[in-house]
Amino acid sequence: MSDPVNHPPHYRSHPSGVECIQITEYMNYCLGNAVKYIWRADLKNDAIEDLEKAAWYIQRDIARRKGATA
């Protein structure tokens, strides 16, 4: 039976069969989102847009880390 709230089918459509959250729940918000966009980039219509979103989250985390060590 399909569970669109807890385990939507597209969350498990990665070739590995692993749900992205199983990996990203161990990361901070920005890095987790970056991985999510990379993970699903080839599973959606616009891979370039998803990769650009991932880059945006990575740059945000880099900026945060540089600010924290400055």
How far CA 23 is from CA of 26, 31, 35, 38, 44, in Å, comes to 6, 11, 9, 12, 19
Distance CA 38, CA 46 (A): 11
Q: How many folded domains does the chain comprise?
A: 1
Mean pLDDT of the chain: 88
Confidence bin at 70 (pLDDT 50/70/90):
very low
Enclosing domain of residue 41:
28-70
pLDDT digits (tens, 9 = 90+) for 22-59: 999 999 999 999 999 999 888 878 899 999 999 999 99
**Cβ neighbours of 44 (radius 10 Å):** 12
* pTM of structure: 0.78
Q: Is residue 2 part of a domain?
A: no
**67 domain-assigned:** yes
